[in-house]
Amino acid sequence: MTASFSEERSAEIVAGSFADTTDPRLKQVLTSLVSHLHAFVKDVELTETEWQHAIDFLTAVGHKCDDTRQEFVLLSDVLGVSMLVDAINHRAQADSTDSTVLGPFHLVDSPPRELGDDISLDGLGDACVFAGRVRSADGTPLPGAQVDVWQANGAGFYDVQQPDLQPERNLRGLFTTDTEGRFWLRTVVPRYYPIPDDGPVGTLLNATGRHPNRPAHIHVIAGAEGHFPVTTHVFVEGSPYLDSDAVFGVKESLIRPVTDVDDVKLATHYGTENPFRLIEFDIVLDTRQ
């Protein structure tokens, strides 16, 4: 028979109800969750009104989720949980490119594109080339590596946020590196922008005096056979909010300048007019152990 519930033994009693859980990891996670959750409630001495506000808030977060928006991801991001999970799960990949949050807008498959293609289908923003090389931690180039790229347009919106204004799959592309592990594409210089703040997460930020802005960045997922994939960003040097990213995603190693280049031969290689602007970003992948 279950012991009588009491404030003093609440976590112990609830954790005991999981005794017959056959999945050991599920049992561990639920037991720890209950322990910390009950300790939190006792620590702040949560009132019934506050408890109801919490239920209403989480309900509103769920109602704000749809096929093109994930409010729970936003909530995880602004509370730093997404970055903490990322940090815990990439401790052993010290030699590879630093990872960061996936973000809430990788909701559709990026279309396969040829090296040098222009992913800016609406042309909104300052044109630039994004280029780099994918290599293994020992320096070996990785031909045939996959480089998935997506970003917001020059106004700070992703295609899924403006389905009636932006072309489908705008500023998205899946590229395959050449025989020397290189990739290059044409795009626009990313712009800083606010995360969607018209929902409950925005209400939370406003109530705590926090801004919703993210510094300018390009999202990248890179992977190659026999290597751990990496989910990361390339942040634009000098962008506002590098020191106060709303989702805590900035790492110093991921910041790159936008360089003005005057080189006819290189412009021809990249398929762009000369002079041009260039963001370079090499990606290092760890081998599987």
Give pLDDT, residue 69. 86
Share of residues in the chain with pLDDT > 70 (%): 98
Give pLDDT, residue 209. 98
Asked whether the beta carbons of 175 and 185 are under 8 A apart, the reply is yes
Both tokens of residue 53?
């506000």
Asked whether the beta carbons of 136 and 96 are under 8 A apart, the reply is no
Q: Side-chain half-sphere of 271: how many Cα atoms within 13 Å? A: 13
Same domain membership, residue 270 and residue 178 = yes
Close Cβ partners of 253 (under 8 Å, ≥ 6 residues apart): 97, 98
Residue 3 domain-assigned (yes or no): no
CA 180/CA 265 separation, integer angstroms: 19
Query: Range with the lowest mean pLDDT among 81-85, 155-159, 238-242, 278-282?
Result: 155-159
Residue 94 domain-assigned (yes or no): yes
Cis previous bond, 275, omega within 30: yes
Predicted confidence band at 2 (pLDDT cuts at 50, 70, 90)? low
pLDDT tens digits for range 148-190: 999 999 999 999 889 999 999 999 999 999 999 999 999 999 9
Residue 69 domain-assigned (yes or no): no
State the average pLDDT over residues 69-93: 91
- Tell me the CA end-to-end span of the chain in Å, nearest whole number: 47
Give pLDDT, residue 91. 81
pLDDT tens digits for range 9-68: 999 999 999 999 999 999 999 999 999 999 999 999 999 999 999 999 999 999 999 888
Asked whether the beta carbons of 226 and 287 are under 8 A apart, the reply is yes
Residue 164 domain-assigned (yes or no): yes
Same domain membership, residue 102 and residue 233 = yes
Give pLDDT, residue 67. 84
Residue 34 domain-assigned (yes or no): yes
Boundary of a domain, candidates 39, 63, 87: 63
Same domain membership, residue 246 and residue 114 = yes
Quick check: 1 pLDDT over 90?
A: no
Give pLDDT, residue 289. 54
Q: Whole-number mean pLDDT of the chain?
A: 95
Close Cβ partners of 221 (under 8 Å, ≥ 6 residues apart): 106, 146, 147, 148, 229, 230, 231, 232
Residue 2 domain-assigned (yes or no): no
Same domain membership, residue 187 and residue 56 = no
Give the 3-state secondary structure of residue 88.
helix
Same domain membership, residue 49 and residue 185 = no
Reading phi first (left if > 0) and then psi (alpha if -120 to 50, else beta), residue 287 is in beta
Both tokens of residue 11?
């976590």
CA 260/CA 275 separation, integer angstroms: 7
Same domain membership, residue 49 and residue 167 = no
Close Cβ partners of 224 (under 8 Å, ≥ 6 residues apart): 134, 136, 142, 144, 145, 146, 285
Angle 279-197-159 from CA coordinates, rounded to 5°? 50
**Cβ neighbours, 10 Å, residue 5:** 9
Residue 5 domain-assigned (yes or no): no
Report the interhelical angle of 71-78 vs 200-207 (nearest 10°): 20
**Cβ neighbours, 10 Å, residue 234:** 23
Q: DSSP for 32-66?
A: HHHHHHHHHHHHHT--HHHHHHHHHHHHHHHHT-B
Look at residues 156, 136, 140, 118 and name the one whose alpha carbon lies nearest to residue 239.
156
Residue 270 domain-assigned (yes or no): yes
Encoded amino acid at 88, one letter = I
Range of the domain at 46: 10-63
Predicted confidence band at 103 (pLDDT cuts at 50, 70, 90)? confident
Same domain membership, residue 256 and residue 138 = yes
Give pLDDT, residue 64. 96
Same domain membership, residue 17 and residue 115 = no
Give pLDDT, residue 180. 98
Asked whether the beta carbons of 17 and 30 are under 8 A apart, the reply is no
pLDDT tens digits for range 217-265: 999 999 999 999 999 999 999 999 999 999 999 999 999 999 999 999 9
Give pLDDT, residue 242. 98
Looking at the structure of the chain, the number of domains it has is 2
> What global pTM score does this model have?
0.92
Same domain membership, residue 96 and residue 31 = no
User: Where residue 272 sits, what CATH number does that domain have?
Assistant: 2.60.130.10
Same domain membership, residue 15 and residue 94 = no
Same domain membership, residue 177 and residue 222 = yes
Same domain membership, residue 40 and residue 130 = no
